[in-house]
Amino acid sequence: MADYLAINWEKTGLTGVEGHIGVSGVSVKRIFQIPWPEQLHPEKDPVSAGSWLKNEFSRLKLTAKQILISFPRHDTTIRLLEIPEVPLEEVPEIVHLQTATRSSVPLNQLMLDYLLLPAREGKVTREVLVASIAKQTHNQAVKTFQSIGLEVTATGISSINNAVWVTHCKPAVMDGPALIVNLVGTNLELTLVHQRQILFTSSSTLSSIEPAIVDQTIHTEINRFLLSRSSQLGGDKISQIVLIGGREECAALLVERLQCAVEVINPLQQEHFSQEPSEELASPGVLAGPLGILYSLQQKQLEIVNFLHPHKADEKPDRRKLQIGLGLAGTALILLTALYLTHRNVSDLDEQIADRQKIQRDMDELLKRGQPTLESVALIQKWENSNPKTLKVLQEVDTTLPGTDRIYLSELDVNRSASQTSLSRLRAIGNAKEDLDARDLNQQLSKNNFRVHPKRSTNKTYDAEYPVPFEIDAEKLPPRPEVIQPAVTAKQNGN
């Protein structure tokens, strides 16, 4: 079907595989490594770097025209956000809104995608894994290949792609809580999976290359990672650890310390290459990301991040033309039926009158039966109009917020109000630079038709940059009625 170059994009160079996706599956031909020369780096000049790269591809006889890019986890940012339970078509806008309040970088400078995690029992919110990468970094890589006539079809994150490759090699691993560990150079990537869903992924940098110290550091980082993700695991323990390209000594240490199964898998041994690798790889795990993004095109076994084609709301089909057509067809059918009955019964006027009277009675009865439904629809519409949607209230709150340079919210909850004098109930917890910022926010809410209830903050979170904790309890009031000014009658001169 198609040939691909799946590439791990590092600042020091490219490492990747040449593969083919056909009817029978994925076949991997060979691996390649290309270091960047200092004078022709894509960060300085993507077009010149692309021209040099074209010569390298020719030298290596790499002829595929479609490119898959796997960015290292440490070049990206991943956040776990909680959003209200809203319809799926509203999720992308909610994700962008919440990311804008958390990110110190404007959204127009980021490439963004997200993974919506399954609903958890007992929680009224949904967790979303939001991934972002600097648009400049992403576009430099894409432009490097586009400048030499190659097509970039997908861009993702190495730690997530690692999980896709493990799913292909060891499908059973993805069922129970499992941890995928991949050490590439001095960069350690950890990915937590459960029930075929990626829950979180992180990256850290090791300070030493001494094998014994590296093994101990990996154990320490795993303990720290699992502790931070304990709420997502819900009391479950890790059943297995997959160590990509790791040392057997490290696996033995993890088995002893963590009391769970540990399996080492090496991409160079797991995959069958058409051409044997011509050079040794210091970190075989660097191939897991490119292999994972390649396998993701063949069969979608996991939801993954793709910055080029991020998740979007499904567009609702426009059925207005169909409804108009059905209405016209129904009208035409009624007219033809009436004409047919009229012509057929023209010789018998009494029977014709009786038939028309029967039709009239049937139609009256139909309208009579449909009247309660119409009244119910009107009542429901009136009820919906009196309760603004969560998204609309959140947009009003976002307009009121002064910006993350002065204030940020750590929790935000919007519910329909049980009171007859208000529309919605807003509760928020956050931190501010100064106490004046929190008071200004309350004043702005009051100006925007909110009734703010004074409340002592129970926020115990300490932030050195935002030292003032606060809590908001406010109600969204109905629109104020317009005041009609009495008309002033001008006195007329008798001149």
pLDDT for residue 477: 84
**d(Cα 410, Cα 394) in Å, to the nearest integer?**
14
pLDDT tens per residue across span 418-449: 666 667 888 889 898 888 888 888 888 888 88
CATH class of this structure's domain 2-298? alpha beta
Which residues have C-beta within 8 Å of that of residue 184, sequence separation ≥ 6? 72, 158, 283, 285, 286
**Which residue ranges make up each domain of the chain?**
2-298, 348-375, 390-476
pLDDT for residue 337: 84
């240490």: which residue's tokens?
253
Binning the chain into helix, strand and coil, the percentages to the nearest 5 are 40, 25, 30
Identify the CA nearest to 126 among candidates 155, 165, 87, 85: 85
pLDDT for residue 357: 85
pLDDT for residue 74: 95
Of the chain, the end-to-end C-alpha distance in Å amounts to: 95
Using N-to-C axis directions, what is the helix angle for 248-258 and 211-228, rounded to 10°? 40
For the beta carbon of residue 218, count every other beta carbon within 10 angstroms: 23
**Under DSSP, is residue 8 helix (H, G, I), strand (E, B) or coil?**
strand
* H/E segment holding residue 342: helix 320-344
pLDDT for residue 388: 52
pLDDT for residue 495: 44
Domain covering 390-476, topology: Gyrase A; domain 2 (3.30.1360)
Look at the alpha carbons of 407, 408, 413, 415 in this order and tell me if their dihedral is positive or negative.
Answer: positive
pLDDT tens per residue across span 126-162: 999 999 999 999 999 999 999 999 999 999 999 999 9
pLDDT beneath 70: ranges in the chain: 1, 278-279, 313-319, 379-391, 403-404, 417-422, 482-495
